[in-house]
Structure 1
Amino acid sequence: MASAERPSFKRRRISSSATDMQSTIQQPGSIKINVAGAYIIDHEVEDSSHGSNTSSPTGSQEGEEQSYQHHNRDIRLPNHTSIVSHVAADIGGSLAKVVYFSRENGNPESGGRLNFLSFETDKIDDCIEYLRHLQSKYQQANGATKAAELMVMATGGGAFKFYDRIKERLGVDVVREDEMECLIMGLDFFITEIPTEVFTYNDADPDNAVEYQEPREEVYPYLLVNIGSGVSMIKVSGPSQYQRIGGTSLGGGTLWGLLSLLTGARNFDDMLAMADKGENSAVDLLVGDIYGEGMGYEKIGLSERTIASSFGKVLKRKREAERSAEDGGDLSNGDASHSPEQPAAPADDKAVNLVGGGRMFKPEDISRSLLYAISNNIGQIAYLQSEKHNLQRIYFGGSFIRGHQQTIHTLSFAIKFWSKGAKQAYFLRHEGYLGAVGAFIKRRPPNWGRRGSVELVDV
């Protein structure tokens, strides 16, 4: 049996010094990431104490509009001193995520940090231009002879769609990596290597709703629910052992698309901000609306605030408005223009309740209702997949989440509700960068990290 074999021809040696790290580079640019002492930077503290942001290579002036969003959670790597000769990009249907390493204060002995940026995929040319600035900075720091070794590790659908454009404009090698494999490698890296990266959420204790998890070695099996434009659900049984077991087309792209039609919001962050201010009970039909005020259906675990039907009040209120108009009242359902001189409906008029701009429903209420509908749907499907495949740990990733409290609450609640508290939802502080980080760390010898940081050396 394989377990009885004794590898007598090898012995173990732990590599920790910068000299050892440099000697193990197997090819130009391939490097081990020294995660010893790694931590996530608190940018509010950093900005107030240093007054600068070291992550932007463009030299843009304060107030200048930027086409990218800097994810304000850089990962500090104080003990990584070796040269990093690549950047990584995960180019999806809605967003392009970029991960790169930068020196701390330009001093190799001070270590460095991983930086995280995102661009709308529609602005891919801005993303490529940003990579050009990184290429220029790299050349300045490491000399012209090293510039040719800079590589772009790319994953996601855009790695194929924009391959020729990136390679032509940058004049560098572009290595395309499998999307699912990168997602898993990125998630494994975060789970096993980065303190306070993974967390759970429980708003039963508002003062301690977020509980951070320590890096762990035993992680398999688990379910990854990756929520981007659509949703993929992946069963992970071990390193490089994974299977896509399901998903849904109702994901971030659905929320973004519908809210852009219904509210006029211009970007995803505006939609989330509106949802924070909304009240879904103005749009959703709740259990309490069916059983009466203050009543629920406790026998089957449904409180009065449980959503019985997403957007369930809309048709009823529109019909009431139509009947009011037939009786001589005002009709405005948001489909027709509304004169600003037209007086607003009385506050006690239950048939017609305009909220401005000719709208019957507030954009904030619509945003919150649709956010709940999409998130609850994803959470329930994730639970069913975890039951079918006997998976206890469920990790949620993808740019849909964005650290948004209501989204996290809804997904967490859905898992607890359907599992009757037997299962737990896990979230990440870099949830949108799993694929990009996976592509980044692909540029190193395999099986390295906290679980594989002991090298096997021939005697």
Structure 2
Amino acid sequence: MTSAVGDHEKAAAADADADERRDQARRPRTMTSTEEIDNTITRPGSVRINVKGAFIVDPDTSTPALVNGRQGNGRQGNGQQGNGRGSPTHHETSDIRLPNHTAVVSHIAVDIGGSLVKLVYFSREAHSTEPGGRLNFQSFETDRVDDCVELMKSLRDKQLELNGSRPGELCVMATGGGAYKFYDKIREALGVDVLREDEMECLIIGLDFFITEIPREVFTYSETDPMHFVGPRETIYPYLLVNIGSGVSFLKVTGPRSYQRVGGTSLGGGTLWGLLSLLTGARTFDDMLDQAGYGDNAKVDMLVGDIYGTDYGKIGLKNTAIASSFGKVFRMKHAAEAAAVGGTVPADVGFTGGDISRSLLYAISNNIGQIAYLQSQIHNLSDIYFGGSFIRGHRQTMNTLSYAIKFWSKGEKQAYFLRHEGYLGAVGAFLKRQPKNWGRRGSLEGMDETLELRRSVKAKEGLAA
């Protein structure tokens, strides 16, 4: 009898243990095991980023906020407001939450361009009751690269404190021209390995990641349907990437590692930034975009209506279409000179820094949009993605680019934008610290080797039969 009772108690205890194990399996894991930490610290390249359930952190997930004509996220990052020197730290976009990734990540990534430095790093939310962590995004003006280095040093120190790893076990993944220009500076300041990655390849890896993995990342834009989100897709090739940084590169992409730079133009974000710094009182690129949001380009540009008095419907031009960028300035100059010798100034003469900003923004954007269309036409590409740090969620810029593609292609081609448009290269460099076939749905890396292995196995099976 006693034996039967004992057996019953043991069975009940075993059932209870099984129930507890099932409950633990159902609950999200909030801690990383010691074995996992040791493994990922000693072999950081073995980290597999778990993107399952990834989403963009946004105060209002129903629709991204647009602040002063630019996309915003309602907060500043990590409490950093710059250093009082007119600089620089922009936490201009929302972090990406990775709720199912719990392993240690022992690297950070940086994309150093001619105008901006873009930094991406993963943070474990050690004091949170929720599992996983997040990808963090920050940018600096390149002439304040020392500020970025200081932040990377603080991230290094935090990594050492949280994980107990040694400095030699950490690394910086770097891309962009500055990865070479500032290589010694970063390496000496941080005392860690700096691995330099190809800029164009990183752009493609980063864009593919956003297209295939992150919900509410890619969107189309028009005045009638602003920010229409496109869900993650598995079939994405071929496409044209228009990367607008200081200059502009046009990349034809036909696969994960198959791309060709088919063209470019020197008239890009650096052109806009440089000219507006001469023509207006704006000190930063964000100031210039803000001014453009309130400006009226019709006070500076000569429009079709100024010439014809109406639309030019026969060739599809509205009266508001720009016939000549800055075309009215010459007339205004003559009017001002006449006023200086006793004449009268017409009431419509005069323009502001905002008017100039919008005019030049339209000029650069229209030029990029038309070249993008021509490249897509030459290479028979229907999907056109705009990346780089030029757009920054600015409504007029997106509408100009989107309208240009729609107008010239008669609606046959589509312009796409990204909420993390400036971080394609940095994210690509971050993801380069991964083994082959690390689990992305859209990744075809290693497929050739996999197919070859399958063929060899089948061949052996055939011989054995």
- When normalised by structure 1's length, the TM-score is 0.82
Matched, 1:201 2:217: no
Match of 1:114 among 115, 124, 135: 135
CA distance in 2, matches of 1:271, 1:232: 23
Matched with 2:299 is 282
CA distance in 1, matches of 2:129, 2:173: 23
After superposition, the C-alpha distances for 1:64-121 in whole angstroms (9 at most, x for unaligned) are: 7573111331000000011100000000000000000011253596100000000000
Matched with 1:191 is 211
Equivalent residue of 1:148, what SS? helix
Unaligned runs of 5+ in 2: 1-27, 62-73, 458-465
Relative to 1, partners in 2 of residues 1:352 and 1:210: Cα closer, same or farther, differing over 3 Å? closer
| Maintained 8 Å contact 1:297/1:304 | yes
CA distance in 1, matches of 2:208, 2:170: 25
CA distance in 1, matches of 2:357, 2:137: 27
Task: Report the RMSD for the aligned CA atoms in angstroms.
Answer: 2.9
Matched with 2:5 is none
Matched, 1:67 2:88: yes
CA distance in 1, matches of 2:201, 2:82: 39
Deviates more, 1:375-384 or 1:98-107: 98-107
| Maintained 8 Å contact 1:283/1:366 | yes
Count how many residue pairs are aligned between Structure 1 and Structure 2: 405
Amino acid at match of 2:336: A
Q: CA deviation at 1:325?
A: 3.1
Matched, 1:225 2:216: no
CA distance in 2, matches of 1:72, 1:120: 16
Relative to 1, partners in 2 of residues 1:21 and 1:224: Cα closer, same or farther, differing over 3 Å? farther
Unaligned runs of 5+ in 1: 1-15, 46-51, 331-348, 354-359
Match of 1:38 among 45, 49, 54: 54
Equivalent residue of 1:367, what SS? helix
Relative to 1, partners in 2 of residues 1:454 and 1:382: Cα closer, same or farther, differing over 3 Å? closer
Matched with 2:191 is 171
Matched with 2:320 is 305
Equivalent residue of 2:241, what SS? strand
Q: CA deviation at 1:264?
A: 2.0
Matched with 1:388 is 378
Equivalent residue of 2:44, what SS? coil
Relative to 1, partners in 2 of residues 1:81 and 1:146: Cα closer, same or farther, differing over 3 Å? farther
CA distance in 1, matches of 2:278, 2:444: 51
Amino acid at match of 2:107: H
Matched, 1:211 2:232: no
Matched with 1:338 is none
Amino acid at match of 2:276: L
Relative to 1, partners in 2 of residues 1:320 and 1:63: Cα closer, same or farther, differing over 3 Å? closer
Q: How does 1:264-343 map to 2 (within 5 A)?
A: 264-292=281-309, 295-326=310-341, 328-329=342-343
Matched, 1:439 2:429: yes
Greater relative CO (CA pairs within 8 A, separation 6+): 1
After superposition, the C-alpha distances for 1:215-255 in whole angstroms (9 at most, x for unaligned) are: 00111100000000000000001111001000100000000
After superposition, the C-alpha distances for 1:350-376 in whole angstroms (9 at most, x for unaligned) are: 1784xxxxxx42101000000000000
CA distance in 2, matches of 1:53, 1:148: 34
CA distance in 2, matches of 1:101, 1:271: 31
Matched, 1:361 2:351: yes
Matched with 2:69 is none
How many percent identity over aligned positions?
A: 63
Amino acid at match of 2:333: K
